[in-house]
């Protein structure tokens, strides 16, 4: 399973990249706004910087919601770097745009997916990734992980090549459960990745090893 970081924050991207476990980055207009990145030129420059830090797929989201706008933006974004994947929302024009970009060999990540039906459409349109938002489903009382399992089952039976990118991850358990459910990728905040590290027995065990080593070696 690949690990993507879900942020536009360069410090966090560098920190995660230094761990050696980062396979890519996803962003969205809200995450770009959070970092204060505005204006077409600055947005493109920011994506280029991310591509220079991380050697992996970088999702860059369109802000148009009509077919012509999405394909124009998609083509422009794809020219920034070979690792750019164009993020397209799961709407009618989005499906059309993904099909078009797929034929032009421009890779896409279908975002804002909340049902198995939407995931089937994304696969049919030739999306490279489909992004079910599991945290946002959990937030309204639906089971986000169950959706990952359902999509994984359908894709396996049908032989769809689209990769399942579990998005809207809120905690380390979401990462573990996504792995069990068959996600190909998780995109997470840095805090959720770091949360996987922690176990009190590791800390206690390490302190004891250090103490025992010191007892003998300080004599």
Q: Tell me which residues are annotated as active site.
A: 87
d(CA 91, CA 111): 9
Among 28, 78, 83, 162, binds ligand E4P (CB under 6 A): 28
Tell me how far, at minimum, the Cβ of 10 lies from ligand E4P, in Å.
16
Distance CA 126, CA 5 (A): 23
> Please, which residue, 71 or 186, has the CB nearer to ligand E4P?
186
Q: Residue 148 Cβ, how far from ligand E4P at the closest point, in Å?
A: 13
Instruction: By CB under 6 A, tell whether 111 contacts ligand E4P.
Output: yes
- Rounded distance, CA 125 to CA 219, Å? 69
**Could you say whether residue 118 binds ligand E4P (CB under 6 A)?**
no
Helices 144-158 and 172-181, packing angle to 10 deg: 20
67/70 Cα distance (integer angstroms): 5
CA pair distance 177, 143, nearest whole angstrom: 11
How many residues at the interface with ligand E4P, by CB under 6 A?
11
Q: Residue 72, interface with ligand E4P (CB under 6 A)?
A: no
* 165-204: contacts with ligand E4P (CB under 6 A): 167-168, 187
Interface pick for ligand E4P out of 114, 133, 155, 160 (rule CB under 6 A): 133
Q: Which of 105, 85, 88 is nearest to 96 (CA)?
A: 88
Beta carbons of 190 and 5 less than 8 angstroms apart = yes
Smallest separation, CB 40 to ligand E4P (Å) = 20
CB of 130 within 8 A of CB of 113?
A: yes
CB of 218 to ligand E4P, least distance (A): 49
Judged by the rule CB under 6 A, the positions of this chain that interact with ligand E4P are 6, 26, 28, 111, 131, 133, 135-136, 167-168, 187
């Amino acid at each position: 399973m690949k690990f993507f970081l879900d942020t536009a924050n360069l410090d966090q991207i560098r920190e995660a990249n230094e761990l050696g476990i980062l396979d890519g980055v996803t962003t969205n207009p809200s995450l770009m706004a959070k970092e204060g990145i505005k204006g077409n030129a600055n947005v493109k420059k920011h994506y280029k910087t991310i591509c220079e830090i991380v050697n992996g797929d970088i999702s860059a989201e369109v802000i148009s919601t009509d077919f012509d706008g999405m394909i124009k933006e998609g083509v422009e974004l794809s020219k920034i770097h070979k690792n750019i994947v164009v993020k397209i929302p799961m709407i009618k024009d989005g499906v059309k745009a993904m099909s078009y970009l797929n034929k032009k060999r421009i890779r896409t990540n279908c975002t804002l997916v909340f049902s198995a039906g939407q995931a089937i459409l994304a696969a049919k349109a030739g999306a490279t990734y489909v992004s079910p938002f599991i945290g946002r489903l959990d937030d309204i009382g639906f089971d986000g992980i169950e959706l990952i399992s359902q999509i994984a089952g359908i894709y396996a039976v049908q032989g769809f090549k689209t990769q399942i990118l579990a998005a809207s991850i809120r905690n380390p358990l979401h990462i573990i459960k996504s792995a069990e459910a068959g996600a190909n990728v998780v995109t997470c905040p840095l805090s959720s990745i770091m949360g996987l590290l922690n176990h009190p027995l590791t800390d206690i065990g390490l302190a004891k090893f250090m103490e025992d080593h010191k007892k003998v070696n300080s004599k």
